[in-house]
Amino acid sequence: MKRMLTMLPLLLVSSLSLAQIPALPDDAQTLVDAVMPQVIEWRRDFHQHPELGNREFRTAGIIAEHLESLGLEVQTGIAHTGVVGILRGGQPGPVVALRADMDGLPVEERADVAFASRVRTEYNGQDVGVMHACGHDNHMAILMGAASVLVGMKDELPGTIMFIFQPAEEGAPEGEEGGAELMLKEGLFNTIKPDAVFGLHVWPIPAGQIAVREGGTMASSDEFTIRVNGRQTHGAAPWAGIDPIVVAAQIVMGLQTIPSRQLDSTLTPSIVTVGAINGGVRSNIIPDSVEMIGTLRTFDAETRRQIHERVERTATQIAASAGATVDVNINLGYPVTFNDPELTRQMAPTLQRVAGERFVEASLITGAEDFSYYANEVPGVFFFLGIGADDPALVHPNHSPYFYADERALPVGVTAMTALALDFLRNGAL
């Protein structure tokens, strides 16, 4: 993650001005300090009792109860288990949304913590362990803490804050819809449409570090299936048929020329990965067909469109050269997570004020995030919060069964989300 350490020279305010400006007003900082024991308690409870996407019933109940206790307008059951709280400030002004995701992963925990998950459940017909291996327990606890702080400042808030607790960011179970896309489909922004939306994701960089970048930040993620149709024959007489296995091998190699030779690699990176090839049953039978599946990722909407077009063209024409045909199907996944450049420049000083010298430029991340759907509707900024421990042995990637979050990051997260909301409301919409 060396590129994470590159500073954002165009976005930074001076070190002197940082020293003179506190991250939060004194009254807000007092509220943050007061809520932190509860934030840690929430985080550990969520971690010990994770739930998979569209099944976050216990989790949603705890969140809704807290938001109701704060006197917010609370809506539940959005996109199955989503929870939304509305805080209307004492003065008129813009609307800002803050988002946290709720679901765990089908991962059996191996991290050595006292509050490790021992939950097991069924996932796609298999018995699996469940773990917050991507840190969503931290996201929820941070946003619940920020809600407590901001409610304590309600009378002086110039505008409205929407707290979005979203299920199924990791994807809905087979045959179900879910996540940000479904929340929007069910009318999340119909009654109150925010002027901006902010979200964070914990990441295995040094604890308390905040990383952000303008533009494409996390990749789009699409899945493809290519079925190569040949003609079955005896393995001893390949000329009597059309070998789809050889054609599939040529297509695999041809697909790699799309990012390396057909797209301008100086504009944005892209990835074409074939993850599986299946075909044939015996060593001496050339089969009728071969199926390939894979993933396409990039950081730009136009590049995404071009990759789709070129995957189909490459596969079709390579197959045709051998007398075979192909069926190409591309299933759209999450769009590019795109940080609005103007909003990012406006709010970067806020994040730097919170993180100080720990404020850095984020690397491009080829993983995908369905925060992208919100940012396609309104200007958005998605940033990363470091949870990496000082001991390298405790630093593991997201989705690892050993994933470990250093809780020193939690007050930084609460402060950052609180400060973003306050600064945006007070400085006005874009």
Q: How far is C-alpha 192 from the chain's CA centre?
A: 23
Question: If residue 212 lies in a helix (H) or strand (E), which one and from where to where?
Answer: strand 210-212
* Distant-in-sequence, close-in-space partners of 404: CB < 8 Å, separation ≥ 6: 111, 113, 387, 389, 394, 395, 396
| Tokens linked to 376 | 């396609």
How large is the angle between the packed helices 26-48 and 57-69, nearest 10 degrees?
160
CA separation for the pair 135, 187 (Å, rounded)? 27
> Residue 312 catalytic?
no
| Tokens linked to 266 | 């100086």
Quick one: which of 307, 306, 292, 303 has its CA closest to 251?
292
CA separation for the pair 182, 179 (Å, rounded)? 6
CA separation for the pair 75, 86 (Å, rounded)? 9
Instruction: Return the half-sphere exposure (C-beta side, CA atoms, 13 A cut-off) of residue 350.
Output: 24
Question: If residue 86 lies in a helix (H) or strand (E), which one and from where to where?
Answer: strand 82-88
| Residue 160 CB neighbours (<10 A) | 20
Q: At CA 198, angle to CA 116 and CA 35, rounded to 5?
A: 50
> Residue 334 catalytic?
yes
CA separation for the pair 289, 189 (Å, rounded)? 46
List the catalytic residue out of 109, 181, 334, 404.
334
At 399, give phi and psi (nearest 5°). Answer: 80, 0
Q: Are 258 and 246 in contact (CB under 8 A)?
A: no
Sheet holding 325-331, edge to edge: 270-278, 289-298, 220-229, 325-331
List the catalytic residue out of 68, 73, 186, 407.
407
Helices (H) and strands (E) in the chain, counts: 10, 18
CA separation for the pair 311, 334 (Å, rounded)? 18
* Amino acid found at 201: H
Catalytic residues: 334, 407
